[in-house]
Amino acid sequence: MLFIVIIASALIISVAIYQYKEQAKDYHESRLERKENAIKRDITYQLESMTFLLESRNPSLLTQKKINEISKVHKLKIRLYNLEGKLFKTSLTDSTNSIDKKLLDKEIVTGLIKNKNHRIVTNRVFEGDIYKTSYSYIYNEKVEPIGILNIPYLEKSNFYQDELNEFLKRISVVFLFMFFIAIILAYFLSRYITHSIKTVIDKMNETQLDKRNEKIVIKRGSEEIHNLVKAYNGMIDQLEENAVKLAKSEREQAWREMAKQVAHEIKNPLTPMRLTVQSFQRRFDPKDPDANEKIADFSKTIIQQIDTMTTIASAFSDFAKMPTAKKGELNVVDVVKHAVEIFSEPYISFFSEKESILINSDKTQLVRIITNLVTNANQALADISNPKIEVCIKETNTFAEISVADNGKGIDDVVKDKIFEPKFTTKSSGMGLGLPMVKNIIEAYGGTIDFITSTNKGTVFTVKLPKK
């Protein structure tokens, strides 16, 4: 809108200036022609009044007094030339006498002959002023040319220039008023338009795949905005549908992977059980005096493998089962201290800044966290000449921080990002469920777990649990 107002103002002002200039040009041309015709009539009248010269009428016979009178009446300088272009009469009352020519250019004389109107107008600049100079024939009663009339006409455009300046002042005020009105209208229109667009942008920024997204409802807006909102709402429906399909696919994939892992882990003890049973079946002799001893060994082996399968089932059950919301007030210092005392290794030490730090959690789950982290740290100390594990507790404004540090071999950079993934393990034995289970428990109670590690220098796991 502002651009249109500015362009319209510029165009109208340009057209107005052009129109005033053309109007002034037409005025001067028509005025010069009127003056020229009037002077010719006066000259003709003066010649007709000289009846004694009727048969030999010639402009050169006009007296200087008559020429000056005609010039004074019409306020224009007059020059009279014969048909060959030689000056024979001129008024002396004009300051432009210095530009008088005694003889016309041949081009002018020839041009008058060739021009069908027998009239030529030229422009000349003298002392900074613009003169329109006309050349035309003077005729006798028989319409025969008897001389050439030359009138230098000074173009004075002060009146038109003043009119133009006044018009430009008035139109500038009008356009300035229109410009401010356009600014106000543009502001409110842009607010009206961008309000709907901002609503769409805010909703788009809030769109997430892992949560339910609200549709946009706009009561007023342009057709384009409604089409945009309709497209967005359709995208939200499709996004939710795809999210459901993706979640279902991920759950199915997770269960498939879990089933494969369970099957794999269960097959491990089943194979030695099968071999043991087959061997016992082939070699067992009821009459053998050591039969009871062999039955005892066989039973012991089978029980061991069953215990292994029970451990596997318990591990998967613990991982799949999120901790119940059995939150209660407990002193994290006492719980962690008792959990560390379970381990008999002399290089495991415990430190705490305070004797009591209260949190809302479950004692059993907290013991499982500490036991798992200390066990992992202990296993990382294999082949370390001076093993060391430190369990420390400190307090911040909002969290109780538990750190388990060791000086073991550390965690390789290539496996850092996989350390909390189910089934991932760097050990020769184990199912890779310990740290994922710990992470699930901690996050269920609103906490976080992180670690820093350095190859051949050790690892520090830090657990943050919200204070009461």
| CATH code (residue 377) | 3.30.565.10
- Is 375 among the domain residues? yes
Residue 203: which of 178, 177, 173, 236 has the closest Cα?
236
Task: Say if residue 73 is in the same domain as residue 155.
Answer: yes
Q: What is the pLDDT of residue 267?
A: 67
Compute φ and ψ for 210, nearest 5 degrees. Answer: -95, 15
Domain match, 83 and 213 both: no
Is the pLDDT at 51 greater than 70? The verdict is no
- Number of other residues whose CB lies within 10 A of the CB of residue 145: 14
Which three-class secondary structure state does DSSP give residue 179?
A: helix
What does DSSP assign to residue 93?
A: S
Same domain (yes/no): 145, 123:
yes
Domain assignment present for residue 53? The answer is yes
Cα dihedral across residues 232, 233, 235, 236: positive or negative: positive
Residue 133 has what pLDDT? 85
Q: How many whole angstroms separate alpha carbon 257 and alpha carbon 316?
A: 12
For residues 367 and 424, membership in a common domain is answered with yes
Residues 69 and 127 in one domain: yes
Residues 364 and 294 grouped into a single domain: no
For residue 174, tell me if it sits in a domain.
no
Name the residue among 29, 152, 36 with its Cα closest to residue 93: 152
Residue 393 inside a domain? The answer is: yes
**Residue 88 DSSP code:** E
Contact, 404 vs 363, CB < 8 A? no
| 351 and 315 together in one domain | no
Residue 153, domain CATH: 3.30.450.20
**What is the rounded distance in angstroms from the CA atom of residue 391 to the CA atom of residue 462?**
10
Span 33-42, mean pLDDT? Answer: 88
pLDDT for res 98: 45
**How does pLDDT run across 129-148, given as a tens digit for each residue?**
677 888 999 887 778 888 88
Q: Which two three-digit tokens encode residue 433?
A: 């469920």
Task: Read off the pLDDT band of 99 (50, 70, 90).
Answer: very low
Q: What's the pLDDT tens digit per position in 366-415?
A: 888 898 899 889 888 888 888 999 999 999 989 999 999 999 888 888 77
For residue 393, the cross-strand partners are 352, 402
- Output the CA–CA distances (angstroms, integers) from residue 427 to 166, 336, 433, in the order listed: 96, 25, 12
Distance CA 50, CA 58 (A): 10
- Residue 301 domain boundaries: 207-321
Q: How many domains does the chain have?
A: 3
Q: Is residue 50 part of a domain?
A: yes
Please tell me whether residues 107 and 8 are part of one structural domain.
yes
Print burial letters for 60-90: b (CB count within 10 Å at least 16), e (below 16): eebeeebbbebbeebebbbbbbbeebebebb
157 and 55 belong to one structural domain: yes
> Residue 175: inside a domain, yes or no?
no
Domain boundary among 278, 299, 321: 321
Last residue of some domain: 135, 161, 187? 161
278 and 387: one domain? no
Instruction: Evaluate if pTM is beyond 0.85.
Output: no
Asked whether 357 and 388 are in contact (CB, 8 A), the reply is: no
- The answer as to whether 191 is a domain residue is no
> Does 194 fall in a domain?
no
Which tens digits make up the pLDDT trace of 221-239?
666 777 777 787 888 787 7
Question: Can you read off the two tokens belonging to residue 153?
Answer: 């006409």
Q: Does 11 share its domain with 124?
A: yes
φ and ψ at residue 139, rounded to 5 degrees? -110, 155
Burial of 260 from C-beta contacts in 10 A (0-12 / 13-18 / 19+): exposed
Q: Which phi and psi angles does 128 have, rounded to 5°? A: 85, -5
Strand bridging mode 87-90 / 448-454: unpaired
What pLDDT score was predicted for residue 405? Answer: 94
Return the pLDDT at 438. Answer: 84
CB 365 within 8 A of CB 431: no
Q: Are residues 16 and 113 in the same domain?
A: yes
Please say whether the beta carbons of 99 and 117 come within 8 A. no
- For 273-328, how does the pLDDT look when each residue is reduced to its tens digit (9 = 90+)? 777 777 777 777 777 777 777 788 778 777 877 776 776 676 666 555 555 546 78
Question: Residues 462, 442: contact at Cβ < 8 Å?
Answer: no
199 or 171: whose pLDDT is higher? 171
- Range of lowest pLDDT (58-62, 111-115, 330-334): 58-62
Domain finish residue from 321, 348, 382: 321
